[in-house]
Amino acid sequence: KPRHTLQHPPDSSTRRIEGSDIMSAERHLYSRVHTYGAFARFVAERPPLGDVLALGATGQERQSWLGPVSNYVTIDFDLTTKPHAWMDARSLGFQKDSFDCVIMDQLLEHVPRPWHVLSEALHVLRPGGYVLLSSPFLAPMHGRAPKVLDYWRFTPNALHILLTDAGFEGLELGWWGNKTAVHDYMDNLWFGTDEETFNTIMAEEPDSAYAITTWGVAHKPGA
């Protein structure tokens, strides 16, 4: 069986939006408002991205914060997510220096040895290319057994160690959450929450003791 098989051509018709705009259809994803907002600001401050690789195809419709890109490719070992290519993130079948950006959105917690994935990302990134990653922290165990299991939770300090050990530089790390968000997230992760609770969560001050999500941005040394 081939290592990867193209499923359909990439769609690069995304537009840049603020993270809060993703809430229009999926209010239960408030955990990603600040993550995507941070990603959107990071991308907006830099030239348009060229070739982008997303590890994991689930939720690719939420990547509109990227803005226009030359080529957007998703990979996944689960074909039900309709990736552009069938591939395992721990062994990417791309040549060295193939991409300008690698996205790992809510992925690393599902990988037994996440440092292998970061090493692969560094390999396929061009010098100066970026990795953008996010992961849940105070969140229920989740996955799609037996293929997708839940292994890890990462503080910003843990992401710092993983990224620097893999060879990345220029780290920007973040987190978001509060007490109300944690209680609601544990009960309503898959079902959404009512508008009043959502507004309360978004208005409450962030508290690192109740972080429900963490994220990091870094680049490959070079140009």
C-alpha distances (whole Å) from 93 to each of 35, 75, 85, 97, 109 are: 28, 10, 10, 12, 22
Q: What is the mean pLDDT of residues 27-36?
A: 77
How many residues in the chain?
223
Whole-angstrom Cα Rg for the chain = 17
Asked if residue 75 has pLDDT above 60, the reply is yes
> 185 lies in a domain?
yes
For the entire predicted model, the pTM comes to 0.84
Q: Residue 42 maps to which CATH number?
A: 3.40.50.150
> 29 lies in a domain?
yes
Residue 213 pLDDT class (50, 70, 90 cuts): very high
Residue 15 pLDDT class (50, 70, 90 cuts): very low
Residue 66 pLDDT class (50, 70, 90 cuts): confident
Mean pLDDT rounded to a whole number for the chain: 81
> 63 lies in a domain?
yes
pLDDT digits (tens, 9 = 90+) for 143-200: 776 778 899 999 999 999 999 999 999 999 999 999 999 999 888 766 677 888 888 9
- Quick one: pLDDT at residue 60? 61
| Strand positions, DSSP E, the chain | 51-55, 71-76, 85-86, 99-105, 125-136, 169-176, 213-219
- Determine which of 21-30, 32-41, 72-81, 87-96 has the lowest per-residue pLDDT on average: 21-30
> 67 lies in a domain?
yes
Q: What is the mean pLDDT of residues 1-30?
A: 41
> 66 lies in a domain?
yes
Range of the domain at 190: 19-219
- Quick one: pLDDT at residue 12? 34
What is the C-alpha separation between 213 and 32, in angstroms, rounded? Answer: 8
Q: Count of domains in the chain?
A: 1
> 149 lies in a domain?
yes
- Quick one: pLDDT at residue 195? 81
What is the C-alpha separation between 43 and 19, in angstroms, rounded? Answer: 12
Q: What is the mean pLDDT of residues 14-30?
A: 47
> 14 lies in a domain?
no
